[in-house]
Structures are given as structure tokens and as C-alpha cells.
Amino acid sequence: MSLALTLVLLLLAVGAAGFANWRERRPRELGRPPLISYTAVQMIALVVALLMAAHLVSLLTGHQLVSRFLH
């Protein structure tokens, strides 16, 4: 994956997490549950942002991130 695509996905994920956070904090009318679980959207977006940040680090340093548990 290229550097530009990684940055775009990182920014989209952070934006989606921010949007989901904003939508979750808005007051709702009683008896009208949300159609989408914005908490779940926020958690998925944060996981994607974390993965893209790790990939960005490996792209910028030139070293692949390796797990400590595989050795």
C-alpha cells in the first residue's frame, strides 16, 4: 500500500471516528433508538486508524513492525 493511500485511509478513519463520536453525543428523542450503533462505528474506525498508523510508521522507517510474541 502506498504512502498516499495510507494517509488517506488514516484521515478517513479519524474523521469517521470523530463523526461517530459527535453523533453518539447528540441528544435523542425518547422512544427513537438510533438505526446505527455509532459506538461500534467509532470502535471500528479507531482500530482502522491504529492499523494505518502502524503501517505509516513502517513505511516511513523502512522497517516492518514485528510482533514480540512471534520470536
Residue 41, Cα to own-chain centre: how many angstroms?
9
Measured between alpha carbons, how far is 33 from 71 in angstroms, rounded to an integer? 48
User: What grid cell was written down for 52?
Assistant: 494505518
pLDDT at 5: 96
Which residue matches cell numbers 453523533? Answer: 23
pLDDT at 58: 92
pTM exceeding the 0.85 threshold for the entire prediction: no
Question: What are the extents of the domains in the chain?
Answer: 3-70
pLDDT in tens, 18-69: 999 999 999 888 988 888 999 999 999 999 999 999 999 999 998 887 778 8
Question: Confidence class of residue 71 from pLDDT cuts 50, 70 and 90?
Answer: low
